[in-house]
Structure 1
Amino acid sequence: MDVPVTIPRTHKKVIHSRNREYHLFVSIPVEAPPPEGFPVIYLLDANSVFGTMTEAVRAQSRFPERTGVYPSVIVGIGYPTEMPFHIQRHYDFTSPVPLSELPASPDGSAWPEQGGAAYFLDFLEDEVKPMIEKEFPVDPKQQTIFGHSLGGLFVLYALFSRPYSFQNYIAGSPSIHWNERVLLEKERAFTGMLEEKKTIRLFLGLGELEASHPSQLSKKAAEMYERLSLLQDQNVWVTYREFPDESHISVLPVLISQAIRFASKKIGQPQQSV
């Protein structure tokens, strides 16, 4: 008899916000929570990477003293689809800009609706996080947000808009070129929002083969790393990684493996500034 295959200790919630449907994929460790609660990772595009991240944490956190990965609650924000990606991500992860500022569509068709990043950040802050903190033993002082491509763009938007909503920001292959003018304006304002006694950690990671992309994705991410690295005296710590022989999509598994280690490091432990 055939039965569905499921990931242990995971479940899905369906919620609605502003007439949009979201599917929250939640993974809970089997271990007892520490006194302060589990670290929590908020994961964008959950339809494509929730399983990868959940299994990576589940396997590696069995021996944290060897791997540096500790049991964590994973909250994936996904959509009503069985495909890896959903068209609504274009709206949720982007800022409103004139169509003339968007890259050309490869097939000449119109891009999906854009410009809902502010609403999506409100949704995370005002609806998702309070729900998770009420239902599960999570540590509000060890929160991570992970996104890739347009999701990586949104992670940077969140960092520059509300720097202390999370302690760890992981932007994989961020599509900086998509909303570059708006994002750089927010980056410039970001320095005036920093607080002396609070720490922010950012991981920028992408595939080595992305250097040939016409969007200059690698160049723009490296330049952002160089600028933000100057803020160490304001407790902004940035790690930059290019993964050999990986492309825009193939980078995801190795990026996730590095990301969960990064997310497990407690604030105050030695930082990387490579």
Structure 2
Amino acid sequence: MNQRLKTERALSTLILVLLLARLVGACDDTSNPRSSLPDAQSDATADLGTSDGVINDVTDQDAGHATDVSTELDTVADQELPPRVCPPAPSEVAGLNVQGSGRWLRVYDFPSGSGLTSRNITIYLPEGYDSTNQYYPVLYMHDGQNLFDASEAGFGVEWQVDETIDDLTRRGKLNPWIVVGIDNTDARMDEYTPIPDADYGGGRADEYIALIEQRIKPFIDSRFRTLCDPANSAILGSSLGGLIDLYIVMKHPGTFERVGCVSPSLWWNNQSVLRDYEATSAGVPMRLWLDGGSEEGAGTDEGDTTVIADARRARDRALELGGRFGENVGFLADEGAAHNEAAWARRLPSILSFLLGEEQASSRTPNASHVVVYDSQVDIGESTRAELELTHGETRLTWPYGLSSPSLSSADKVTVTSPGVLRGASYGTTILTLSSAGTSASELLEVSNTPNWITMRFEVEVPSADAVWISGDVQELGAWDGAGLQLQPLGNDRWGAELTLPAGLTLLYKYTRGTWPTVEKDANGDELSNRVQNVDRPRIVSDRVVRWADQ
């Protein structure tokens, strides 16, 4: 935690103690309106922003006319509050008109200063804001027009920020937050990049960050009931917005202690920001989120993508700087995700629950596990990467290989050349098992020189049986003979076998005890549909039989 944050919290604690001492003397006077403090969300309750109390001249932007009702913001002006600790808004923005009603408010043409273009700002208030005196933490997000409304989004797809944060809050996964969306402008590439790129220009990030820190944030803190200290201030962006957020961690610490870098464009200017971060001695914020999708960026020799690889490098540096994975450093390699708003919306619950949650993600027992193998079939000398994904409550995390206790069923098939990177050594298959946080998962790896054939391992849990077969629609499974391929006992009523099939096949199959009168049934003894598997990659297929036909 940086020194500024420690100082603010120490001052806040002293102020709160003095205030409580004063309130004790008034506790017998139940009619005294100053006999209680407004509710606050966190232990930073003394770092209370102030409110103007009333936003006047509210207009209906869509209707194009002024309403005759002013929107009143709840105020605690009639209660004694600690001295103001939020920086005041500059005079040129302090009196700007906030338009809208209810939970949706907007400032149009917010003056940006420093020669930057003015822009719109959207404020999304938590449920109950107008009916309480509570003070709230604030999440600031770049590319504001893409966050809430598909009709305003640049590509017609929104992040669904309002739906997601409301859902998490209503289910008790998050405390309420104010969200501030800062629209981008035609100069987005200039404003979101700290250093010019030889091909794309740019380089005005420091001016844009100054706009947020010196104008927008003080304005929000002066007009709304905010917890303005760094621990209750978050910033989140994607692509170039993720790039600038990592730059903020290095060059502008002390304003935001919760920072999200979603699919960050760390390729910018020959990875200069990433290389600077790998050389930095800057501290790690209270929460740092990094991620990427397996369908964005160029491919690598290890089967993943450059976006994931770059984000992983930033994660590893954060851990070297003292970060603790799952506590204040989060990372997700999102399998199948592209570089777009739809993908970011799908993983937004993970991002917000990690970034904004009071509870550390790793303190929650995983409720799902999965080994991600980027290329599960390699030839001798070829490499692939494997990582463990665990779901902790709402948060999906891809754990570092070094924290995942790896083991191989056949260690001679692959060689681990660096953490998480496995190179084919001899032909055959091996089962990779990764374990962390008391949870493990396994996946099949195949070293093969026949890429048009794929090996899959079938494992099934059954009611008590002396022998188990798998029968299906291919010759390797007996062409629907009840005694197709006999499985081997694995212990604890589990059976398994490997099967090599042509790539691209759709396999139909069922389990038996050697004859069709002993075929598997559903729990009521009724007929089951054929099981279906696509033969598209080496994998472990885990099945369960609940009942046999003759039992």
The two structures share one fold, judged by TM-score above 0.5? yes
- 8 Å CA contact 2:238, 2:262 repeated in 1: yes
1:76 corresponds in structure 2 to: 181
2:74 corresponds in structure 1 to: none
- Which of 158, 161, 178 is equivalent to 1:53? 161
Cα deviation, residue 210, structure 1? 2.1
Q: Partner of 1:263: helix, strand, or coil?
A: helix
- Which of 254, 260, 265 is equivalent to 2:346? 254
Relative to its length, the structure with more helix (as a share) is 1
Looking at structure 2, the residues matched to 190 and 139 of structure 1 have their Cα atoms a distance apart, in angstroms, of 29
Where do residues 209-220 of structure 1 align in structure 2 (5 Å cutoff)? 209-210=295-296, 212=298, 216-220=306-310
Looking at structure 2, the residues matched to 189 and 212 of structure 1 have their Cα atoms a distance apart, in angstroms, of 24
Cα deviation, residue 78, structure 1? 0.1
Cα deviation, residue 45, structure 1? 0.4
Q: Deviations over 1:79-127 (max 9, x none)?
A: 4xxxxxx43210110023351xx4xxxxxxxx4x511101011111100
1:43 corresponds in structure 2 to: 141
Quick one: structure 1 residues 244 and 216, their matched pair in 2 at CA, closer, same or farther if it must change by over 3 Å?
closer
**What is the letter of the counterpart of residue 235 of structure 2?**
I
Quick one: structure 1 residues 87 and 233, their matched pair in 2 at CA, closer, same or farther if it must change by over 3 Å?
closer
Where do residues 131-210 of structure 1 align in structure 2 (5 Å cutoff)? 131-140=219-228, 141-184=231-274, 186-188=276-278, 190-191=280-281, 193-194=282-283, 199-210=285-296
Cα deviation, residue 24, structure 1? 0.6
Cα deviation, residue 209, structure 1? 1.7
Q: Deviations over 1:126-178 (max 9, x none)?
A: 00111111111122231111100011101111111122221111111000011
Mark the runs of 5 or more structure 1 residues left unpaired by the alignment: 80-85, 103-110
Q: Partner of 2:217: helix, strand, or coil?
A: helix
Please say if 1:243 is aligned against 2:321.
no
Relative to its length, the structure with more strand (as a share) is 2
Looking at structure 1, the residues matched to 197 and 189 of structure 2 have their Cα atoms a distance apart, in angstroms, of 14
The alignment covers a number of residue pairs equal to 245
Q: Partner of 1:30: helix, strand, or coil?
A: coil
Cα deviation, residue 48, structure 1? 1.0
1:228 corresponds in structure 2 to: 318
2:215 corresponds in structure 1 to: 127
**What is the letter of the counterpart of residue 335 of structure 2?**
P
Looking at structure 1, the residues matched to 269 and 361 of structure 2 have their Cα atoms a distance apart, in angstroms, of 29
- 8 Å CA contact 2:278, 2:314 repeated in 1: no
Looking at structure 2, the residues matched to 248 and 7 of structure 1 have their Cα atoms a distance apart, in angstroms, of 34
Q: Partner of 1:61: helix, strand, or coil?
A: helix
TM-score, with length taken from structure 1: 0.78
Quick one: structure 1 residues 207 and 234, their matched pair in 2 at CA, closer, same or farther if it must change by over 3 Å?
closer
Please say if 1:15 is aligned against 2:132.
no
Tell me the percent identity.
21
Looking at structure 1, the residues matched to 323 and 241 of structure 2 have their Cα atoms a distance apart, in angstroms, of 28
- 8 Å CA contact 2:121, 2:181 repeated in 1: yes
Q: Partner of 1:12: helix, strand, or coil?
A: strand
- Using CA pairs below 8 Å that are at least 6 residues apart, which structure has the higher relative contact order? 1
Q: Considering only CA atoms, is the larger Rg found in Structure 1 or Structure 2?
A: 2
Looking at structure 1, the residues matched to 336 and 271 of structure 2 have their Cα atoms a distance apart, in angstroms, of 30
Quick one: structure 1 residues 36 and 232, their matched pair in 2 at CA, closer, same or farther if it must change by over 3 Å?
farther
Q: Partner of 2:170: helix, strand, or coil?
A: coil
Looking at structure 1, the residues matched to 336 and 272 of structure 2 have their Cα atoms a distance apart, in angstroms, of 31
- 8 Å CA contact 2:337, 2:343 repeated in 1: yes
Please say if 1:24 is aligned against 2:121.
yes
Cα deviation, residue 58, structure 1? 2.0
Cα deviation, residue 207, structure 1? 1.7
